Amino acid sequence: MDDKDAVPASVTVTRNGPYQVSGNLPLSRQVIGSNAGGESMRWEAGRDYPHATRYSLCRCGHSANKPFCDGTHQRIAFDGTETASREPYAAQAKLIRGPAMSLTDAEALCAFGRFCDPNGSVWNLVDASDAAAARAAFTRQTCDCPSGRLVAWDNATGKPVEPAYAPSIGVIEDPAKDCGGPLWLRGGVQLVGADGFRYEVRNRMTLCRCGASQNKPFCDGTHAAIGFRDGG
């Protein structure tokens, strides 16, 4: 694609319809890898979908061609009203300060990835962040949070610690819970509401694709409660 044909990487919420993706964003399966106890431990790469400059992703959860939209939202009269806060992350998050690192936590953004749980949980690890092992576990687990609910901060620099992602979209699978998870926006993709509102650009965000979140367009973990599956 020539530079003159390039379009910005963005995802636009359509009114009671799909997500319209532009900017040739790579799309791939991303699998939550777990240990024998079912704890979320790592991200495992799944299949890549063919690149396309533009495509539409299902938001209602009922497409027969998931993760892509097939128009089913019209037949089922899907209500995709956006109800999430539009405040920036910093205004939503609570700060927990540790000795070497700190944690910000915007609980409403939780997508139930559960990377926060191992090793006694990140909420305890931050208090022990002056110890090398605890600090390493805290940083790794916090950075693996797909929704960006949790952000680790280096007290010495005052800067957040973020994984380096190229702009892309992941379709999350959660084998430990036997369900499909949200869409994972990575690398600073612009999210645009159905009314044209431009949400804060963040490195990590998760969007509902089961249709049942009470925090649309963001995921709230309901996919696990309803056993959402997409046949992928």
What percent of the chain lies above the pLDDT cut of 90? 95
> Over the chain, what is the mean pLDDT?
96
- Is residue 114 a contact partner of residue 39, using CB atoms and an 8 Å limit? yes
5 secondary structure, DSSP code: G
Model confidence at 8, pLDDT cuts 50, 70, 90, reads confident
Dump pLDDT digits (tens) for 126-184: 999 999 999 999 999 999 999 999 999 999 999 999 999 999 999 999 999 999 999 99
CA max distance for the chain: 56
Dump pLDDT digits (tens) for 36-58: 999 999 999 999 999 999 999 99
Distances (CA, A) of 135 to 97, 140, 144, 149, 182: 13, 9, 14, 18, 28
pLDDT for position 1: 41
pLDDT for position 231: 78
Model confidence at 189, pLDDT cuts 50, 70, 90, reads very high
- Give ∠ CA 118-223-8 in degrees, rounded to 5: 95
| Res 193 pLDDT > 90 | yes
Model confidence at 6, pLDDT cuts 50, 70, 90, reads low
pLDDT (mean) for 204-232 = 96
Place of tokens 């704890």: 39
pTM of the model as a whole: 0.95
Torsion angle, CA of 218/219/222/226, rounded to 10 degrees? 100
| Res 88 pLDDT > 70 | yes
93 secondary structure, DSSP code: P
Place of tokens 């022990």: 128
Model confidence at 232, pLDDT cuts 50, 70, 90, reads low
